[in-house]
Structure 1
């Protein structure tokens, strides 16, 4: 059981980690990703953040088909069309939503020099995800 008493929730770097459901999400680039986990209420540069971590094998430049620019568009789409409704339905809106794509599973907070990972941070303003320099 996680520290919260629920078997599917664990503490992660100061926040609450909830695993993804394994459902495929089709993105504008044509790639399909799955939610690895959502980490609620982690300390971020601008206050509390909610992190959505996605497995995206297609971002690997050697074996995949999605380049950085397409992945960046996918990240913005995930914030606006996936993450935004989840943070607004679950209580206070965090200061930031952080979306990450990784080409292979990497435990949160650990380094893997062979992994390809992209991260973008957004603030929520007037019902929209606004990109912030991360």
Structure 2
């Protein structure tokens, strides 16, 4: 797995919640390359959060189309699947954190748009 680090980047999303890019990971799974865009979204916290999955879902599509696709083009990345994840706090990829709230969606990049995979 390759981690592409970048300084924290705040992003505007439809729900209006604050969202910050934590990291981008390139992950080879079998014959496919998955590009994982991991965001911190504190307002999804399960104990006191104001944003549920239904409100965050349009945010994830928006992040895929307005941030992930241009990022992929800018850095010349290739991948069959884009995963957008939101977490209420910074987490380490692949390490269980039972206190963290996390939402995930997967998309196929097709003709400069993100097609929901429904994994």
TM norm. shorter chain > 0.5:
yes
Q: Which residue of 2 aligns with 1:37?
A: 23
Q: Which residue of 1 aligns with 2:44?
A: 59
Shift of the alpha carbon at 1:43? Answer: 2.1
For the pair shown, the structure with the greater C-alpha radius of gyration is 1
Is there any run of 5+ residues in structure 1 with no aligned partner, and where?
Answer: 1-14
Q: Which residue of 2 aligns with 1:23?
A: 9
Map of 1:83-94 to 2, 5 A cutoff?
Answer: 83-94=68-79
Shift of the alpha carbon at 1:17? Answer: 0.8
Structure 1 residues 20 and 63, CA gap change in structure 2 (3 angstroms): farther
Structure with larger RCO (C-alpha < 8 A, sep 6+): 2
Give TM-score, length-normalised by structure 1. Answer: 0.82
Aligned length: 119
Is there any run of 5+ residues in structure 2 with no aligned partner, and where?
Answer: none
Confirm or deny: 8 A CA contact 1:58 1:64 kept in the other structure. yes
Shift of the alpha carbon at 1:45? Answer: 6.8
Q: Which residue of 2 aligns with 1:10?
A: none
Give TM-score, length-normalised by structure 2. Answer: 0.92
Bigger shift: residues 57-66 or 110-119 = 57-66
Confirm or deny: 8 A CA contact 1:46 1:96 kept in the other structure. no
What is the RMSD computed on CA atoms of the aligned residues?
1.5
Shift of the alpha carbon at 1:46? Answer: 6.6
Pairing partner for 1:125 from 93, 103, 110: 110
Shift of the alpha carbon at 1:23? Answer: 2.6
